[in-house]
Amino acid sequence: MSYLPFFVVAWILGVGLYGIVTSRHLVHQIICLIVVQSSTYVLLLGVGYVTGAVAPYFYDIPLHTPAVDPVVQALALTDVVVEAAVTALLLAFAIQAHKRFGTLDPHELVELKG
């Protein structure tokens, strides 16, 4: 079915968000954020695919062979780096939060409310 990848995208997004909302551990929450991000990878790469085409690397194939879209692959690459950066920062926050609060339960990590 030619829309299956997009159903997968929606499912991954839903699962990731469900994980964030029902999480009781900050590291688990951060990993669920990565899952949410993964849905965008699948979407980007799914949007750019061309049936029957090759990867856009013309080192050893003739120059005008039909190839898939290279732009979304470059976008996905950028996306991965951005996600890695944000995750690293969040994990650093998590380490300090554990030291200050003594717990990583999001329900307990509350100093300000109201």
Partner 1 sequence: MTPALRRGLFLVGIAGFLAFYLWGLTRLPGFGRYPGPYGFVINRIAVGETNATGVVSAVNFEYRGFDTVGEEFILFAAATGVATVLRHLRDEQEGGGSETVFGEPSSGTTDAVRLASLVFVGPVALFGWFLASHAQTSPSGGFQGGVVLATAFVLIYLAGQFLSFRRISPADLTDSVGSVGAAGFAAIGLTAVVLGFAYLYNFLPLGTVPGAVSSSGTIALISFFVGIEVAAAFILIVGELVEQTLLIRTAGRQS
Partner 2 sequence: MVDQLPVLSVVVPLLVAAGIAACGWVLRPRRRLLDAIGIATCAGVVAMLAVLMTRVVRGDEVYWFAGFRPHHDIAIGIDFAAGSLSTGLACLAGVLVLSSMIFSWRYFDEVSTYFHSLMLTFLAGMVGFCLTGDVFDLFVWFELMGVSAYALTAYRPEERGPLQGALNFAITNSVGAYLMLSGIAVVYGRTGALNMAQIGASLSGHRPDGLVVVAFVLIISGLLIKSAIVPFQFWLADAHAVAPTPVCVLFSGVMVELGLYGIGRVYWSMFGDALGHRAAITSVLEVLGLATAVVGALFCFRERHIKRLLAFSTISHSGLFLTGIALLTPLGLTGAVVYVIGHALVKAALFLCVGIVLHRLGSVNESWLHGRGRQLRVTGLIFTVAAFGLADMPAFATWLGKGWIEDSGEALGQPWITVIFVAASILVGGAVFRVAGGVFYGIGDPPGEDPAMAAEADEETGETAAGRGHTPLSMLGPAAVLALGSLAVGLIPKLGNAVEAAVVRFQDEPTYNATVLHGIRVAHPVALSPPEPAVVTLPSLLTGFGSVAVSIALALVALYWRRLPVVRRGLEPGAGFAGVMRGLQSGVVNDYVTWIVFGLACIGGALALAVR
Contact residues for partner 1, defined by CB under 8 A: 2-7, 9-10, 13-14, 17-18, 21-22, 46-52, 55-59, 63-64, 67-74, 77-78, 80-82, 84-86, 88-89, 91-93, 95-96, 99-100, 102
Distances (CA, A) of 58 to 40, 51, 74, 89: 27, 18, 16, 37
Q: Which residues bind partner 2 (CB under 8 A)?
A: 9, 13, 17, 20-23, 26, 29-30, 33, 36-37, 39-40, 43-44, 47, 71-72, 75, 78-79, 82, 85-86, 89-90, 93-94, 96-97, 100-101, 106-107, 109-114
Contact 33, 90 (CB under 8 A): yes
Q: Which residues neighbour 94 within 8 Å (Cβ) at sequence distance 6 or greater?
A: 26, 27, 30, 104
